[in-house]
Amino acid sequence: MSILNSGRELCSPASAIAGFVALVLGAGMATAQTYGLATMQPGTLNHTTGSAIAKVLKEKAGMNFLVQPSAGESTLIPMVGRGESELGIAQVFEIIPAMKDNPDLRLIGTAHALRVAFWVRKDSAMKTTADLKGKKVVFGFSAQKALDPMARAILASGGLSEKDISPILVPNVIRGADDFISGAADMFFFAFGAPKVREVDATVSGIRTLEIPENGLDAIKKITPQAYLTQATPGPFFVGVEKPMKVYTYDNMLFANAKMKDEVVYKIIETLEANKADLVAIQPALREFSADALYKTYDIPYHPGALKYFKDHNIQPKALQ
């Protein structure tokens, strides 16, 4: 049997149903939401972490996240605060002061620890942070303002201050690494695991991590209380580490705009927790990721969707180190 459609065209009931289903599916695809994930620029550990998260969310949960690189964390955090990106990744020292001007920021939690260091050329005589006295040190990170206290803290671990060095002003760590390559600086400051560190190592025929003395932690915490020291050993991840040593460590945070739906944040955590191996395949630093490790006692508001996930899975907040 066929149906006459206003005398124009004959179509079967099956064709009509198929067409209706196609229309509905097409409309769903057309309205599928794309979310922004704000990161630092390519070459940074932050960008690699964001790329891993976006890939897993898209492939495993059908959530279309678009990585949005920026000049630095002082740029990307307000992007999330204004709702221009739904998610962001930044270190805790940037997020804490940014809360004052970005009240719509909400934590999802600690994605992984960030381990950073000062590096020099491998053929340099410098071995510890104290050896930077009188040297050209990258400083004054205009697009990553929270790095200045961190740099001060690492210098203080070796008994130094800004008065003891020749500061080389840079906007971000990428520029600082490039200045080191060119010879404009005697050292550079970066995170372990970042592609840029491996690039510098290959470009200058080897780099060395400057050691922080064990008794330097007190000086570090006077300037950056949320920082702590963790163990680093020679290996592919710890480029430039020539012997077991302690390195400056702090937390890299995943956060969202407050207006992001609770169920979306819940699904993000659920998907990342279930697909950790896929995250680590792209970003080895995410070996430390877990839903349990997300929740710490930071004095920053958590997103309600994250809090619901923690409650449903009986996850309690961990004390800061």
The domains of the chain, with CATH numbers, are 33-114+251-312 (3.40.190.10), 115-250 (3.40.190.10)
Token duo for residue 142: 């205009």
Average pLDDT across each block of 10 residues of the chain; the chain has 321 residues. List them in order.
Answer: 33 43 41 88 93 98 96 92 97 91 97 96 97 97 88 97 96 96 98 94 98 92 93 95 96 97 98 98 94 95 98 96 77
Residues 148 and 93: their CA atoms lie apart, in Å, by 10
Which of 40, 36, 60 is CA-nearest to residue 48? 40
CB 186 within 8 A of CB 136: yes
CA 159, 163, 168: angle at the middle one, nearest 5?
Answer: 110
DSSP-assigned beta bridge partners for residue 254: 89, 109
Amino acid 111: pLDDT = 97
This prediction has a pTM of: 0.78
Residue 73 CB partners (closer than 8 Å, separation 6+)? 40, 46, 90, 91, 94, 143, 144, 146
Amino acid 143: pLDDT = 83
CB 253 within 8 A of CB 95: yes
Amino acid 29: pLDDT = 37
CB 285 within 8 A of CB 49: yes
